[in-house]
Every structure is written in C-alpha cells, then in structure tokens.
Amino acid sequence: MELIITEKNNAARRIAEILSGGSATTTQRNGVNVYEWGLTTCVGLSGHVVGVDFPEEYSDWRDVEPVELIDADIVKSPTQENIVRTLRQLAREADEATIATDYDREGELIGKEAYELIREETDAPVKRVRFSSITEREVKSAFDEPDDIDFDLAAAGEARQVIDLVWGAALTRFLSLSARQLGQDFISVGRVQSPTLKLIVDREREIQAFDPEDYWELFADLAKDGETFEAQYFYDDDGSEAERVWDEADADEAHERLREATSAEVTSVRRRTRTDNPPAPFNTTAFISAAGSLGYSAQRAMSIAEELYTTGYITYPRTDNTVYPEDLDPEELLDEFTMTHEFGDDAESLLERDEIEPTEGDDETTDHPPIHPTGAVPDRDELDEDEWEVYELVVRRFFATVAEAATWEHLRVVAAANGCQLKATGKRLLEAGYHDVYPYSSASESFLPPVEEGDALDVTDVELEAKQTQPPRRYGQSRLIQQMEDMGIGTKATRHNVIEKLYDRGYIESDPPRPTSLAEAVVEAAEEFADLVVSEDMTAQLEADMSAIANGEATLDDVTAESREMLDRVFEELRDSREDIGDHLQESLKADRRLGPCPESDHDLLVRQSRQGSYFVGCDGFPECRYTLPLPSTGEPLVLEEACEEHGLNHVKMLAGRDTFVHGCPQCKADEADDTEDEVIGLCPDCGDEHEGNLAIKKLRSGSRLVGCTRYPDCDYSLPLPRRGDIEITDEYCDDHDLPELVVHSGDDPWELGCPICNYQEYQARQAVDDLEDLDGVGPATAERLETAGVSEPADLRDVDPDVLATEIQGVSSSQIRDWISQLPEVDPGDDDDDDPDDTVSGSEDGEIMDDIRAEVEEVESD
C-alpha cells in the first residue's frame, strides 16, 4: 500500500480526487477521514500533530526556577492523538509513504514530524512531493518526480520552536512568579506578542506626551447664480500652500478682511482627470482590513472566512499571495455567478469586457492563491447575515479585480477676495468602473458649480474656526496587522490570533485597542532587561539564523545554543531586580482595577473576584475595611476612563459579547436601588395562595431589575426585566396570569413588553429557535422551516424520525438531520420535565437572575 500524507483534510480530499480520477472512497479511522483508491491511501493531518514542551518535572511553576528552563530538555509529544494513532496504523500497512504537506518551511517541519512517526512503525521509503497549488497538472507532475524531505529546512523550523518556547516560557514564568500571578492570570511575553504590544504602548506614550497646539482655519461660502459651495482660506508659506494659521492675530486679520469682502474673483480653474485603479486580489491582511471597515474584528472576519472555506464557498483564507495563479480562469469563474440572483447582473456586465486581465498585487507566493470565491455559490438563506456579508465582500473583491478602472474629474477653483485667497475642490465620477461592482471603497463625489476664470462670486457666511492639533491616532486592529506584516513578525495564519491574545491576557482593551497599566509595566520591564523580546529584531535575527540552517551554513544546535546563551545573560541582569519588577507589575495590576476612593476608609475601591469567580467592588483596605458593592452577574468587568462626578468612582463596563453594556458607577447603582420602593403588581404564582406572596418590580443593588416575589428569599420565583428604560404599569391585565401589561419607555419607541410571564415564555421560545441555528448547517431559513415542522428547539430532534422529517422539509436530507442529532449534547437521564409553563420560570433554571439576588445577600468572600 502507498500512503500519502497532507497538511490538512481538505488537501487530502482534493489530492485523492485528482490522483484517483474521482474514484476514491472515504472511510473514517479513529474519527479521521481516510481516502482510498486502488493500492493508495491518503490522509490529512491538522497542521502540527506533535508539539514541543519541557519534560514533566518542569511543569510545576513554583518548583522550578525560570532560569532552569533555559537548559532543560525539550520533548515532542502528540497533540492530536487520533490523527497520530491513525497515521501509525496506516504506516504499518504501508510499503511506501509520500509527504505532501504545504510547500513552505512550516510544511517541511510538519512533514518531518509525520516522517518520524512513520519511522517508528516501518522502514518503508518516505518521499516528499512539492507543488504550489492543488491543480491536476501540478499535483500529477509532482508525484511523477518525487523528491526527498529537506531536513535542513525542517531543522530551521525546529530552531524557531525551541527558541520561542525557551524564551517565552522562561520569561513568562519569571514575570508571573515575580508578580505572584499564577493560575489564570499569568503575565506572558513572546517573540511576536511582545513587539506587537510595544507598538501599542509606544503609540499610547506618544499620545500621552502630545502637547496640542492652537491654530485657526477660515472658511467662506461662495455663490455663483445662487449655487453655493464652501471654500477655504489659504496663504503662501515659503512657496507651499498652507491652510492652518498659527497666529491668532493673523487669523483675526484675515477674518476681518474676508468679512469685509463683498465678492471674490475666480483666478484659476483647473480640471484634471484621474484614473482610479481597481484593487489587487485579497491576501489575508487586505481581507481583514476590508472586513474591518465593515465593522468586523480581525478575529471575527477570519473565523467567518474559515467557515466559508470549510463549506467550500471561498478559497483558503490564510495567504500572503496577491497574484491569481495561471490556472484561474476569470471568465469561467464569472460564469458561475451569471445565474445567481444577487450577482447575476454584475457578472454579466463584467463578461462583456473585451479582455479580462485581473489586477495583481506586489506579493506573489505560490503556496495558496489569493482569497477568491470558488465556483460553488451558496443560496442566501444558507448563510447567516454576517457570513453572507463577508461572502459578498469576497465575491465583489474578485469582481473588482477583473473590472475596469474608474475615472474621476478633479476640479480646483481658486478665488481672490479682498486680498485673501480662497480655494475649493470638487470631484466627479466620470466612469464608475469597478465601483459599480465593489461599493465598499469610497466613491463619493463633491459638487462644485461650473465656474470660469474671471467670474465674480458672492462671498457669504465667513467662518473663523479655532482648532487644535490632534495627537496621533491609536492603531486599529487591521492597521496593527498591517504593521506586523511590515515588521515581518507573525504569519498570515497567526497575526489576528496575537491581537486576540493581547485582549485575553488583559494587555489591551476596547477597540481600537488601548494598553492597560499592566501592558505598560510589562513593556517597561522588558525594555529594561530583555530588550530583544520586545523588538522586531528578534524575529529578524531568527529569520537570518533559520536561513543559515536551511542553507547548511549553520546547525540547529549552533543556533539554539547561541540563543540560550543570550537568554542566560538576560537572566543574569534580571536576578537582582526580581522584587522591584514584581512590585511594579503588581501596582499596575491594581491600577487597572482601581475605581476611586472608598467612602468608609482611606483606601481605594477595587474590582475584585470572589472565590466563586463572581466579580464585586471591594476595598483595598480589606480586611480592616469591609466595604463592598455588587456588580452585575453577566460578563467581565472593565474599568472605564470616565468617572462619576458624585463619588469619584470610575464607571464599569460589563463585557459579555453581544450583551455588553455599561454599568456605570456602582455606588450610584446601589444608591438607586436603595432609594427605589418595590412596586407590587400582583400575586406570586408560586406562593400567593398559600403564603400571600406578592410579585413586585424590584431594583437590585447590582443594577438589574426583575419581577420577583416579596417573600424572597423564602420564595425565589422571578422573571427578568430589561436593565434600561422606565417601566410603566398599565391598567390592562393579562387574562391568563392576572398581571398588568408592562410598557418600557426608552428612546423614541415604547416597547410593549406585556405580561411579564407571557413575555418570559416568548423569550424562552425564541431562545430555543436561536439554539437551532447553533447547529452546523442550520441557517435562519432552515430554523424557520424546522419550527414549522414542529421542531422548535434542538432537543425536539431526538423525538423525530429523520426520514419522515426530511420529506416534510424542503432542501434538508435525512443524513443532514442525523448529523444534527449527533451534535446534540448527551441526555441527562433525570431531565424529563414536562412543559408546565410556571415550572419553567422558577428558581433553578434561571441562574442569572438568582445570582443577582444572591449577590445582594451573600456575604462577600475574602481574598
């Protein structure tokens, strides 16, 4: 048997298809896809299936001095057990193996890892094939002339693994231990993340150090035949045009002159035609940037792209390439879109061009094509809204790259008024070109009426505007990724993850990202003692060393030994400063959680976490001062810059994905709750008859509101209410529950919430439908059809016969339904509740609200 190994499952499937002429069959071994035809078997890895780490005895951070890691052994162990097991099994049956991983350094290393696993099972010959795109021609010719594994190139990759692990782990442990930050909130550093963080911190330093300067600008409205346009004052500053006036007296003088002017004479009119070329094909960075201007974070854009890739609608989203490969036929691809409702007209019009010559970017690599749509076009309702928007972006970008250039007419008018010069510019789109199919980049026109030299214009509405120079702007996520690419750090597949990691580690917050005090302290400590790790030079040096290894000019051992010596010297420096660094880091950690003065002691209030994991506000003077305030139970608290004027406490925002909200000043929220009387609206359905409990609208000190029983905590019946808006209790009563209908007033549109019990039941029903969409391959449309067929929540699928249901729902196969059923969580045998409506709203099923109430009465845990 001949065994072929690829880097990922998708590549395995396509190579099997090509080499077998479509006859390959798919089976599963240990849950891993295996493709077979004739005497050949093909299996895909999932990138690296083994990882590097230190031996077991180094795993307890407190038992090991970080410096010991420098010379510790490094061992490789499987990280993808099932794939490794499958590979071993297949190797035992193989007479010959071929490594067909990606054609790049990391691919060579992944191939060598597979080789070593195979060698542990068999002495069969192992070959290597290289091809830069998975096309029939390239793949077949690569397999006709197999080569050998390039062990030097793989060793270059191993050097990177070793150096990254040793530096990253030793310094991360050093900082974490010195600040006594173990467990979840360790303090990390690394070759890629730390220079990226320094970029953000440096920009923040520039912003902090910025000293704004005053200047003035003047504007006047000019009119010809009643058509008005705005012009700006400018003057000659050493031969170049300047609009900003730096001296107030000069500005006042110009203002006076313009106000006295009754007319302006046009002294020059210049018309120019400009070509606006269509954009280059998408690589990862350009894609993230374009998706960013549609409001997607880098992480979100990439995860949607990966989803679209695995479902087969777009090509591989991790690529540096901006030049379409030769085997891409743009006309053929356009043809696939002509029959679609959304893109048909645009595709037709592009096909009418005489000659289609796609644009090209500067970067050409051969591992993967630029991101473009495959010929498979999804129906709109197969994708959710975000997926569709991103898919459309990729389709339209492809369209743009095969569309014509746009042309603009730029018009510039200069006029003189009472010795002052005024100018106005306008632009008009002459040929929309690619903008017709790619409506994302700005194509906005600015209007100027047709004026001629010598025309006399009316001057009206002269304005003097006082302004200040602005500090540099913070980097946005896509700008950061661009900057990382320019600096040569990270890869197309990791840059967006690095940004996400900085958020997770508490180094940056908000968007655009702003560094925390902790981030500043970490960068300061690194700058002082381990400058290399916050510098892009470390990567540059590593790249040079890796090239040397790949060329045979150096060995893995040379390079890693030298790197270890450098790190030894760093630790020499660090040795005496351990405590200072730790204190500084701890101070910064506290600063990020500090809200302001405690009303009962001379200390500050801090955001703290109870032993159970819930957040609250507590005094830094604990245990002497036991003052506390509750926080909402949803999300992670973030201390905002804005502070409450009354209490001097910073506002708190609760980060909870889609449900993120600003809580505000926790003292104000608690006071409001204390000052608000409970409003009784009816009898409690749980204990009203028996104990005369009433339902009341309650405001909690944590800021949330609910309808709850007045006998709490003896009765914990409750219903949720929105956090915001005034609640009006109307005279209308619900027939079913004998409760008043409620109306929430916030913003312009009042929201008729209705009976709180009915409302909660409807809410739960909606949640159930939303849960349906969490199943793979269920979009909004399918969820709706499922609901009509009686499946209103995922658990309902357990009770259906897939074959029967498939006949009831259009476009859904019984095997798809079986797949959904296989995604359902394990059934808890005790959970056979019937659908008693009142049962669904009682205590245990409503953790969030009950947590809020408990937070009020619970004695807060000490540190």
Point out the residues that are catalytic. Answer: 316
Closest distance of CB 726 from DNA, Å: 45
Question: Considering only residues 178, 188, 289, 478, which one is a binding residue for DNA as defined by CB under 7 A?
Answer: 188
Decide: is 678 part of the binding site for DNA (CB under 7 A).
no
Amino acid occupying residue 227: E
**Contact by Cβ (8 Å): 386, 397:** no
Decide: is 165 part of the binding site for DNA (CB under 7 A).
yes
Angle at CA 844, nearest 5°, toward 839 and 846? 85
Rounded CA separation 680/710 (Å) = 8
Looking at 133-141, 166-174, 799-807, 841-849, which segment touches DNA (CB under 7 A)? 166-174
Toward DNA, which CB reaches closer, 8 or 854?
A: 8
Radius of gyration of the chain (CA): 33
Looking at 56-64, 119-127, 546-554, 674-682, which segment touches DNA (CB under 7 A)? 56-64
Decide: is 806 part of the binding site for DNA (CB under 7 A).
no
For residue 352, give every residue at least 6 positions away whose Cβ sits within 8 Å of its Cβ, in sequence order, or none.
none
Decide: is 498 part of the binding site for DNA (CB under 7 A).
yes
Question: Considering only residues 100, 169, 402, 521, which one is a binding residue for DNA as defined by CB under 7 A?
Answer: 169
Amino acid occupying residue 756: P
Toward DNA, which CB reaches closer, 301 or 437?
A: 301
Total number of residues that touch DNA (CB under 7 A): 56
Phi-psi region of 692 (alpha: psi -120 to 50; beta: other; left: phi over 0): left
Toward DNA, which CB reaches closer, 417 or 546?
A: 546
Toward DNA, which CB reaches closer, 492 or 699?
A: 492
Question: Considering only residues 189, 323, 394, 480, which one is a binding residue for DNA as defined by CB under 7 A?
Answer: 189
For residue 297, give every residue at least 6 positions away whose Cβ sits within 8 Å of its Cβ, in sequence order, or none.
477, 511
Toward DNA, which CB reaches closer, 171 or 652?
A: 171
Residues in 289-308 that interact with DNA by CB under 7 A: 306
Toward DNA, which CB reaches closer, 46 or 441?
A: 46
Burial zone of 124 (CB within 10 Å; 0-12 exposed, 13-18 middle, 19+ buried):
middle
Decide: is 556 part of the binding site for DNA (CB under 7 A).
no
Angle at CA 166, nearest 5°, toward 160 and 169? 120
Residues in 58-117 that interact with DNA by CB under 7 A: 58-62, 69, 79-80, 102, 104, 106, 110
Looking at 43-51, 120-128, 260-268, 836-844, which segment touches DNA (CB under 7 A)? 43-51
Closest distance of CB 654 from DNA, Å: 23
Decide: is 509 part of the binding site for DNA (CB under 7 A).
no
Q: How many residues does the chain have?
A: 863
Decide: is 651 part of the binding site for DNA (CB under 7 A).
no
SS3 helix, strand, coil % of the chain, rounded to 5? 40, 25, 35
Rounded CA separation 131/7 (Å) = 13
For residue 557, give every residue at least 6 positions away whose Cβ sits within 8 Å of its Cβ, in sequence order, or none.
none
Select from 604, 583, 584 the least CA-distant residue to 595: 604
**Contact by Cβ (8 Å): 417, 263:** yes
For 420-439, b where at least 16 C-beta lie within 10 A, e where not — what string? bbbbbebbeeebebbbbbbe
Decide: is 740 part of the binding site for DNA (CB under 7 A).
no
Looking at 186-194, 269-277, 293-301, 395-403, which segment touches DNA (CB under 7 A)? 186-194
Looking at 40-48, 380-388, 680-688, 795-803, which segment touches DNA (CB under 7 A)? 40-48
Toward DNA, which CB reaches closer, 397 or 492?
A: 492
Looking at 180-188, 508-516, 622-630, 731-739, which segment touches DNA (CB under 7 A)? 180-188
Decide: is 694 part of the binding site for DNA (CB under 7 A).
no
Toward DNA, which CB reaches closer, 519 or 673?
A: 519
Closest distance of CB 572 from DNA, Å: 20
Decide: is 823 part of the binding site for DNA (CB under 7 A).
no
Backbone torsions φ then ψ of 599, nearest 5 degrees: -70, -15
Angle at CA 586, nearest 5°, toward 580 and 589? 145
**Contact by Cβ (8 Å): 666, 672:** no
Which residues of the chain form contacts with DNA (CB under 7 A)?
7-10, 44, 46-49, 51-54, 58-62, 69, 79-80, 102, 104, 106, 110, 160-161, 164-165, 168-169, 172-173, 176, 182-183, 186, 188-194, 306, 310, 318, 489-494, 497-498, 501
